[in-house]
Amino acid sequence: MDGNGRWAQARGLPRTDGHTEGEENLARLVRIAVRADVGWLTVFGFSTENWIRPRPEVRHILGLHERLFGRVAELNELNVRIQWMGRPFDTPDARTPKYVQRAIRKAIRDTAANTGMVLTVAFDYGSRAEILHAARQARVGGQALTVASLGAHLYVPELPPVDVVVRTSGERRVSNFMLWQSQGAAISFTAKPWPEFDAEGLHTALSLVRG
């Protein structure tokens, strides 16, 4: 979800305002995706590299994610099940604060019975860290390192292969996001920053895989 800060700066606003608008736009996009019959929507909320951002900006983003995971009533209304992927809370390198952990656990528990779209939020997530974690877990279990064994130990192994990756804000590069799962995925590029990504952008991305 690139471009929140640039969206704000282009309007003479603090970068934190861009992140706030980006969180609101995610709520809008979830509704749009549900109407478009999307089965799985995975968003890159906060990466393992994002911790180096200025502390006030990080604190603001953390607060937004706590609020995001607290939007249970909206998710239940839409029959959306929420889940999270990132560095496991009990690993030495995990950095998700306790209050965000509590919000994540509660959201997962309170939407567990929903049978519609699955919304996965990647928080404190990096694909390289995920693949390394999968390899370590396979080794601990005495398994040979194969495609099957690594896939079984990804953070959320039940996630299906990615059909299409959306890159907003004019970014034309591969990020550290779901590198394993997105093999062969189509990539939809848009110049719109994330706060402006809308139904048109989503349908353009879906047209790459739905025809």
Positions annotated as catalytic residues are 2, 50
Which stretches within 38-188 are classed as H helix? 55-69, 72-77, 98-110, 127-140, 147-152
Considering only CA atoms, which of 203, 102, 202, 209 is closest in space to residue 161? 209
79 SS3 class: coil
- Are the CB atoms for 133 and 87 separated by under 8 Å? yes
Task: Please list the helix, strand and coil fractions of the chain in percent, rounded to the nearest 5, in that order.
Answer: 45, 15, 40
Show Cβ contacts of residue 81 under 8 Å, excluding neighbours closer than 6 positions. Answer: 75, 111, 112, 114, 115, 116, 117, 118, 119
